[in-house]
Structure 1
């Protein structure tokens, strides 16, 4: 069992050597910047800090204004399982303010287990039919039982592929310890952090485990804690219900183009009609679960609405052209999905009784009929081969007031409740910026000027709002 305090000491008192910067690997694709990359060694197991070491690859977009430079801003794009080596370039391409780039060396990374940082693999292939971190929609109890069998097979495959014993050490707590190793390797007394989605959990863990070494922490599109548990993933269903009306209004206003319904209520009914039809008779590989998953993914932002509507339209017109919906479903990515499972299952002890999931599916099918019988379904975590090595990181409200929680009111995967929960756990350390917006992601990736200016002011000048803030759409 790793003690969190012990982990903090190990990460701080044994600073690794400074990184040697060079060209990034060829698969780190950038559009508007030239990044440098380096590898920072960290212990595989923080209980044995002098034991086996693994390399964490980091990228750097250095400030060109040394007189304005404050320190380092570490990034995480979400997941868990998302590569972050090119994320600084993504943010520049999207228009992150120059004042932020002047103030920080922006540090991206592949966190442990991902890409160029000791990658792990469960051995997923394109033939598995595994759709990733969201279980399939369960139309009845038999579907829950079938998913339980599939989940058990996935967990067994992960164990069988864990030849080097790394899988059990991929956790949020260890990733947070890695962040502090990176901070020390960069020669910084403190580090700032900007994390989206799962990155909010990682940032919350870092600010809690190392409060005095955390500088300015921005948590965007929030999981609600330092980990994703059964309650957290069931909130996907809440997010879908809160966000779908935005798509329904958009589609109804374009009835003459797509024919999905003249009113938002009619668009919603079209969704249920198509889903139930595809449950009975799949079309060109699109069944009810794929349709629901693709529609859920289509709620992540307005830029996805058109493709989603075209997919629905193709099904209404006879179902011959369903490429739009197939394109909207997650592509098989062995490494990303393996890391998602490792972190999610290692962070917290999941229920192992299928009856627990059966009850949850039945409850959420009624509470959240759009998608509730999917996110409540059985995950491989129910059969995970490893017990958690430590309790989930507890959020520490005893520390500096240096956490800004940024959250859309309508977010399909991390609903506004997640921001409220996280802000409440940090207490006086944090402020919540609630944005009257729709989709997944606020700062830079969204278009709300109030949230952009508030977050930028915090990162550059350290101005935390006096009270929680609500940002309207103009």
Structure 2
């Protein structure tokens, strides 16, 4: 693989995985009716999960669920779940279900990942950690639209549209991808991969595990799934933590376009970092100069790529590497090589840490599930002109990334209409939802957490963390944020009011 392809794929993988959606719905059963046909039989996990989880040892099992909850006796699929059991029966409270985001991220090894990141022992004592591949992902009847890393559709965030013609060109690609997904869906699963059905699946898993209630920790898109579960099954939800908040139970055009806002709010953190290190990387002596360097280099790469990397891929790369401050040195290294026209330096730069989506099949699966959930959850505008207008407006409003976040995607041509309305937030339920949010976050900016806090009203509290990046609890480095969230998970002490961690 050439480095130009490596940069393209690295950006795609970071974007794919994110990310990580009361009352009854207008159509379809809100309750996951009917008991599972069997209880989980725990055994060894698949070899790839074992390798990814090492040295932590997980158990795996499957839980049957219907493809269509409107036809519970019809076709079914098995969901694979994992478990890291509590070793302290005197302190064990129950299960803590986990979701890493996406939609499209595999969560089977997430218990082990959180352990490796320093999840407190008190949490491990209190819960059996339950990871899973939600429907359509990995070991749970995976979807595959036949997408490849070198194909024209390689990330779930549309490419930056340098002009109006680029929107029209992307529309042709998006239309072809939507049709391709439909043609590859030989089992009829595609239209049933939704946030509402994933929430019903969570309740089937809870029931299969013999728990009256379940706690939940979800990141990024996992906040939408957790919000849906807490709304559809409020009395079956225990302690709910939603970290890096999308803002609703689904991702819609407004949510997608907020990526551009997140880029504008988070980029200055990198710009200050780079300005302090100008003598090493040469990207600008002030944050303003670093911003100008970004815009100038992107424009030059639009005209003349370096080592096969064009301006579209460079913008995608910067967006992806702003997910974590620990990636800033790698971003500066690759940026410096591109700035200098150093093809060898571009090829030598290391990509982000590997993930399950590193394989072509994994990338295809992640992108396919992202499309299925996003397009099935809500109706997207079908007229290309809507996206042309939005791109033109957002290119001016959010010059760093607006013409990407507003660009057209396959949802405009999706072959299926939503089977039911999006899950409505139910603010009539237990006060058990902690929203955790970094003040600067690329794909899930702070405004989303404030919006969900308002929708859940007194059921929730907002824990704002003065940090930059995607993911706070355990994944960040703020003591107040860590301690407050751990205290809630272990002791059930929800902050009496919204809290700001400096």
TM-score, normalised via structure 1 length: 0.97
Where does 1:229-240 land on structure 2 (aligned, <5 Å)?
A: 229-240=252-263
- SS at the partner of 2:322? helix
Q: Which of 392, 401, 414 is equivalent to 1:362?
A: 392
C-alpha offsets along residues 425-471 of structure 1, whole Å, 9 cap, x if unaligned?
10000000011100000000111110111111111111010100000
- SS at the partner of 1:327? coil
- SS at the partner of 2:47? coil
Q: Is the 8 A contact 2:28 2:420 kept in 1?
A: no
Partner residue, 2:46: 25
Structure-2 separation of matches of 1:326 and 1:297: 14
- SS at the partner of 1:431? strand
Q: Which of 368, 375, 382 is equivalent to 1:338?
A: 368
User: CA offset at residue 53 of structure 1?
Assistant: 1.1
Q: Is the 8 A contact 1:173 1:205 kept in 2?
A: yes
- SS at the partner of 1:108? strand
Are residues 1:380 and 2:413 paired? Answer: no
Q: Is the 8 A contact 2:431 2:460 kept in 1?
A: yes
Q: Which of 439, 449, 462 is equivalent to 1:419?
A: 449
Q: Which of 216, 222, 235 is equivalent to 1:199?
A: 222
Where does 1:387-402 land on structure 2 (aligned, <5 Å)?
A: 387-402=417-432
- SS at the partner of 2:160? coil
Q: 5+ unaligned residues in a row in structure 2: which ranges?
A: 1-23
Partner residue, 1:169: 192
Structure-2 separation of matches of 1:324 and 1:50: 54
Q: Is the 8 A contact 2:36 2:64 kept in 1?
A: no
Structure-2 separation of matches of 1:390 and 1:244: 38
Partner residue, 2:351: 327
Q: Is the 8 A contact 2:152 2:173 kept in 1?
A: no
Partner residue, 2:6: none
Partner residue, 1:440: 470
C-alpha offsets along residues 213-253 of structure 1, whole Å, 9 cap, x if unaligned?
00000000011100000000000000000000000000000
C-alpha offsets along residues 67-98 of structure 1, whole Å, 9 cap, x if unaligned?
00000000000000000000000000000010
Structure-2 separation of matches of 1:155 and 1:117: 22
- SS at the partner of 2:95? strand
Q: Is the 8 A contact 2:260 2:405 kept in 1?
A: yes
User: CA offset at residue 21 of structure 1?
Assistant: 0.3
Q: Which of 5, 29, 47 is equivalent to 1:7?
A: 29
- SS at the partner of 1:27? helix
User: CA offset at residue 308 of structure 1?
Assistant: 0.5
- SS at the partner of 1:340? helix
- SS at the partner of 1:45? coil
Q: Is the 8 A contact 1:12 1:180 kept in 2?
A: no
Q: Is the 8 A contact 2:240 2:434 kept in 1?
A: yes
User: CA offset at residue 27 of structure 1?
Assistant: 1.1
User: CA offset at residue 13 of structure 1?
Assistant: 3.9
Q: Is the 8 A contact 2:321 2:328 kept in 1?
A: yes
User: CA offset at residue 127 of structure 1?
Assistant: 3.2
Q: Is the 8 A contact 1:16 1:181 kept in 2?
A: no
Q: Is the 8 A contact 2:36 2:63 kept in 1?
A: no
- SS at the partner of 1:56? strand
Structure 1 runs, 4 residues or longer, greater than 6 Å off: none
Partner residue, 2:290: 267
- SS at the partner of 1:152? helix
Are residues 1:73 and 2:103 paired? Answer: no
Q: Is the 8 A contact 2:25 2:421 kept in 1?
A: no
Where does 1:197-346 land on structure 2 (aligned, <5 Å)?
A: 197-320=220-343, 321-323=345-347, 327=351, 333-346=363-376
- SS at the partner of 2:427? coil
User: CA offset at residue 23 of structure 1?
Assistant: 0.2
Structure-2 separation of matches of 1:305 and 1:131: 23
Q: Which moved further from structure 2: 109-118 or 359-368?
A: 359-368
- SS at the partner of 1:446? coil
Structure-2 separation of matches of 1:14 and 1:27: 31
C-alpha offsets along residues 291-322 of structure 1, whole Å, 9 cap, x if unaligned?
00000111001111001001111012223122
C-alpha offsets along residues 372-403 of structure 1, whole Å, 9 cap, x if unaligned?
00010001000001111000000100000000
- SS at the partner of 1:8? coil
Q: Which of 144, 152, 168 is equivalent to 2:167?
A: 144
Change (3 A) 1:66 1:88: same
- SS at the partner of 2:218? strand
Partner residue, 1:429: 459
C-alpha offsets along residues 139-175 of structure 1, whole Å, 9 cap, x if unaligned?
1111110011110011011011111111111000000
- SS at the partner of 1:57? strand
Partner residue, 1:110: 133
TM-score, normalised via structure 2 length: 0.92
Count of matched residue positions in the alignment of Structure 1 and Structure 2: 470
Structure-1 separation of matches of 2:233 and 2:37: 17
Q: Which moved further from structure 2: 120-129 or 283-292?
A: 120-129
